[in-house]
């Protein structure tokens, strides 16, 4: 049980860690890292039920989504605008290895390496879901804060989608926005 306790301690931290990009935009009650991972996982679960997506291993994608930001429980949410960004990958891998070791759960490091390498179909779709969640969050926040400039976030999301499923989802989200 000690190993599970360690894992839950790290998980608890990301449940309450606000995402840095939203803090920079002065969002009240900003989305947390844990909420972001949960929404990615929910999207993967939804996509797993769509018959046209048979080439993907959604069990693997769900696992990638759940743990892709767990290292932030140790190093915080580092964005491209942060000075520490150049060392982010190295610091995250080290943190994930420490978490996996403390929890006696080596699969965490394996999944993190797969996500970061972004070579498998599953990692590519998980990366797209990461960006699609950001876009969905922007669309939500822009209704609450219409006076703020959200273009940087929208462009980052749209310009970094690489799978056909991801492109379709972005199109649907933006279509919904234009109809609202």
Residue 58: give the domain boundaries.
2-126
Domain contains 171: no
Alpha carbon of 145 to those of 27, 47, 121, 139, 148: distances in Å? 8, 30, 36, 10, 6
Backbone φ and ψ of 163, nearest 5°: -100, 155
The pLDDT, as a whole number, for residue 131 is 97
pLDDT at res. 80: 87
Q: Is there a domain that residue 179 lies in?
A: no
- Provide the pLDDT for residue 178: 67
Tokens of 64: 């990638």
Contact 68, 95 (CB under 8 A): no
Report the C-alpha gap between 125 and 69 in whole angstroms: 15
Determine the pLDDT at residue 72.
97
In a domain, 38, yes or no: yes
Give the predicted TM-score (pTM) of the model: 0.94
Round to the nearest angstrom and report the end-to-end CA distance of the chain: 49
Is 50 a domain residue? Answer: yes
Residue 154 lies in a domain: no
CATH code of residue 104:
1.10.3210.10
Beta bridge partner(s), residue 32: 18
Given this model, what pLDDT does residue 120 score? 98
Let me know: does 17 contact 72? Beta carbons within 8 Å.
yes
In a domain, 115, yes or no: yes
Assigned domain for 63 exists = yes
Length of the chain: 180
CA distance 157 to 106: 31
Q: Return the pLDDT at 51.
A: 84
Position 81 scores a pLDDT of: 87
User: Is 61 part of any domain?
Assistant: yes
Q: What is the pLDDT along the chain (180 residues), one digit of tens a residue?
A: 689 999 999 999 999 999 999 999 999 999 999 999 999 999 999 999 998 889 999 999 999 999 999 999 999 999 888 889 999 999 999 999 999 999 999 999 999 999 999 999 999 999 999 999 999 999 999 999 999 999 999 999 999 999 999 999 999 999 867 665
Number of domains in the chain: 1
């Amino acid at each position: 049980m000690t190993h599970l306790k360690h894992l839950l301690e790290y998980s608890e931290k990301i449940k309450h860690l606000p995402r840095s990009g939203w803090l920079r935009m002065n969002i009240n009650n900003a989305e947390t890292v844990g909420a972001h991972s949960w929404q990615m996982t929910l999207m993967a679960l939804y996509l797993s039920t769509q018959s046209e997506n048979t080439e993907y291993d959604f069990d693997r994608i769900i696992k990638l989504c759940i743990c892709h930001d767990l290292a932030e429980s140790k190093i915080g949410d580092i964005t491209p605008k942060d000075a520490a960004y150049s060392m982010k990958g190295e610091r995250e891998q080290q943190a994930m290895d420490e978490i996996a070791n403390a929890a006696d759960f080596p699969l965490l490091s394996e999944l993190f390496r797969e996500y970061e390498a972004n070579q498998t179909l599953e990692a590519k779709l998980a990366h797209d879901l990461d960006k699609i969640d950001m876009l969905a969050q922007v669309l939500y926040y822009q209704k609450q804060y219409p006076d703020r400039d959200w273009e940087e976030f929208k462009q980052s999301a749209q310009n970094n989608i690489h799978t056909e499923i991801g492109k379709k989802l972005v199109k649907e989200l933006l279509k919904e926005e234009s109809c609202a």
